[in-house]
Structures are given as C-alpha cells and as structure tokens.
Amino acid sequence: MNIDPHAYNISIRRDVFDGEFLFEARIKELPDLIEFGETYEEAYELALDSIQTTAEIFVEKGRAFPQPGVPADDFSGRVTLRLPRSLHRALAEAADEEGVSLNQHMTNVLTYYSGFASGYKEASEIGWKKHQGDSTTKTVKSKQHLTLIHDASNEPAWAA
C-alpha cells in the first residue's frame, strides 16, 4: 500500500501533559492515534511515521486503511436531488408546518441525521452492551449527550 501521510489531517497543540509542556499531534482520520513530542516538528514527524506504520499494519492484517479526509472547500454546498413525488410533498408539507423553506427543512433533517449517524458510529465502535431478555441493546452517550439505543432489529432510535 502506497499512502502519502502528508495528505492526512494532522492537528498539533501545545499543552501540559504529565506536568511538562509537550506538543500533542492527532490525526483526524485515525482518532485513536496520538503522538507527543518536545517540539512541534518532532510531534509532526512522529505523526507522519505513525500513519505510515499503522497503514503497513492494516495491510498485514488485510484491513482497509482510512483515506485522507477531503477539505470542505472542495464542495460547493449545492446538491441536485430527485425525489419521489410523495416524499417531495411530505417534505414540503413538513417545511410549511415548521415555517421554513423546503431547502432549510431538508438541511435541518440532514444535519440531524448526520449527527445521529456520527453518534451511532461512535456507539458501535465503543460497543458497550447491555442484555435485556432475548435481544441485545447497546446504550451509549454520544458527544451530544444523547442516549442511543440499538436493538436486535438494527433499527436505531433515540431513547426518551
């Protein structure tokens, strides 16, 4: 596998860790990977090396390695979408009820779903399990502090 570690989103910050000032490097696409260095340059180089090493380990284990994230400015924010007439009508009616434009309503719905999917993904990665009767339920608090329930039917729903 030939990857360019420089293409990944690396953020570096300086803070006190275990009583000493260090630079912490984090890779957005690999949230569990953190490197520390005494200088900015050292932390950055360690992060690059860790990306390369982690990619090699993924290849050895036959796992897919995350691709670098694409900057948001590569997107115009405009999407053309064809919908069934019944869905178009339902969305337009819901927008009217909310007193917003169809565009704003659809943006709200997609934003909500995007946050839900992010919390659901986080919950799945953590994998906390609680057994109730014959079904398995996963209950996790996401970053938004909402409790996510996942039942045996694989249909997620927000807890009341």
Query: Whole-angstrom Cα distance, residue 36 to residue 25?
Result: 6
Give me the pLDDT at residue 72, please.
Answer: 72
State the distance between the two ends of the chain, measured CA to CA, in whole angstroms.
46
Q: Beta strand pairing status for 147-150 and 135-141?
A: antiparallel
Q: 63-93: b or e for each residue (b if 16 or more CB lie within 10 Å)? A: eeebebeeeeeeeeeeeeeeeeeeeeeeeee
Query: Whole-angstrom Cα distance, residue 14 to residue 23?
Result: 4
Beta bridge partners of 22: 15
Q: Per-residue pLDDT for the chain (160 aa), expressed as one digit of tens each?
A: 688 999 999 999 999 988 999 999 999 999 889 999 999 999 999 999 999 999 999 999 999 899 998 777 777 888 888 999 999 999 999 999 989 999 999 988 888 887 766 666 655 555 544 434 444 444 444 333 333 343 444 444 443 3
- Using DSSP's 3-state secondary structure scheme, residue 150 falls into strand
Residue 30 is encoded by which pair of tokens?
Answer: 């690999």
DSSP codes, 77-129: S-------HHHHHHHHHHHHHHTS-HHHHHHHHHHHHHHHHHHHHHHHHH---
Beta bridge partners of 15: 22
pTM of the complete model: 0.47
Residue 79 is encoded by which pair of tokens?
Answer: 């999407």
- Using DSSP's 3-state secondary structure scheme, residue 60 falls into helix
